Amino acid sequence: MEINKQIEKAKQGDQVAFTFLLNYYWNEVYGFMLKRTENETNAEDITIETFSKAFDKIATYNSEFQFNTWLIAIAKNVHIDLLRKKKSSLFVEITDEEDQQAYNIADTTPSAEDELITEQNLSQLLRFIKELKPHYQEVIQLRYFQEMTYQEIANKIGEPLSNIKIKLLRAKKLLAEIIQNKR
C-alpha cells in the first residue's frame, strides 16, 4: 500500500517519493544487473540509467504490474541497448586496403592533432560542467575525475548514499541537457 502511495506521489513530481522509490528498489535492480553484467561499474551505471528512465516515464507506469517488474524490464532494455552500442562499436567493416594501411602504421601514439582534439573536448566538457550548480559539479568531479565509488563520495561529503545516487543521476541528466542544448 505504501509503495502505491509513493508511486502516485512520484507521478505528481514529488522528489521525496522518487527518493523513497530509489532507496526501496535500488538493491533489487542493482543486484539483478550485477548478476547479469558481473561488473559493478556497469551494473551501477545501468541501475542509475534505469531509475532515470523510470522517473522520466513514471506517468506511463501501469499499476496492474508490480513496480519492481517494471523497473527490471527497463533495466533489461538499458542493458540490451548498452550491449548493442558496444557491439556496433566493436565491429566496423573495413576494406582490405584499409586493413593493410592499419597494419603498416607502426606508431600508435596520439599525434599532436589527436592530443589537441582530446584537450579541446575535455576543455569543452569542463566548461559544460561549470554550468551545473556547485553540488552537482562536486559529485561529477569526484565520481568521474577522481573515480571515487558512491560510498567514498558519501563519506567525503558527509551525506547518505542515496542522496549521492540521486545527485549523480540528476547531475548526469542536467549535464546531458546542457550538452544537447549547446549542439
Tens digit of pLDDT for each residue in 160-174? 887 788 888 888 888
Tens digit of pLDDT for each residue in 133-168? 888 899 988 988 888 888 999 999 998 887 788 888
CATH number at residue 126: 1.10.10.10
Tens digit of pLDDT for each residue in 45-78? 899 889 988 988 999 998 888 999 999 999 999 9
Q: Are residues 70 and 141 part of one domain?
A: no
Q: Provide the sign of the torsion angle of the four alpha carbons 16, 18, 20, 22, taken in this order.
A: negative
Task: Name which of 69, 58, 66 is nearest 8 in CA terms.
Answer: 58
Domain membership of residue 105 (yes or no) is no
Q: Are residues 136 and 68 part of one domain?
A: no
Other C-beta atoms closer than 10 Å to the C-beta of 178 total 15
Q: Are residues 17 and 85 part of one domain?
A: yes
CATH number at residue 24: 1.10.1740.10
How much is the pLDDT for 70? 93
Please spell the DSSP secondary structure of the chain, one letter per residue. Answer: -HHHHHHHHHHTT-HHHHHHHHHHHHHHHHHHHHHHH--HHHHHHHHHHHHHHHHHTGGG--TTS-HHHHHHHHHHHHHHHHHHHHHHHH-----HHHHHHHHH----SPPHHHHHHHHHHHHHHHHHHHTS-HHHHHHHIIIIIS---HHHHHHHHT--HHHHHHHHHHHHHHHHHHHHHH-
Q: Which residue has the cell 534505469?
A: 50
Q: Are residues 66 and 6 part of one domain?
A: yes
Q: What is the mean pLDDT of the chain?
A: 83
Q: What is the largest CA-CA distance in the chain?
A: 66
Alpha helix stretches (DSSP H) within 12-39: 15-37
How much is the pLDDT for 114? 59
Q: How far, in Å, CA of 45 to CA of 135, rounded?
A: 20
Q: Are residues 83 and 14 part of one domain?
A: yes
Residues 6+ away with beta carbon under 8 Å from 126: none
Q: Are residues 68 and 128 part of one domain?
A: no
Tens digit of pLDDT for each residue in 11-49? 998 888 988 999 899 999 999 999 999 888 888 889 988
Percent of the chain residues topping a pLDDT of 70: 81
Q: Are residues 166 and 132 part of one domain?
A: yes
How much is the pLDDT for 106? 44
Domain range for 177: 110-182
- The structure's pTM equals 0.55
How much is the pLDDT for 99? 53
Number of domains the chain is built from: 2
User: Looking at 90, 119, 149, which one is the last position of a domain?
Assistant: 90
User: Looking at 90, 123, 141, which one is the last position of a domain?
Assistant: 90
- Cell (9 digits) for 178: 546542457
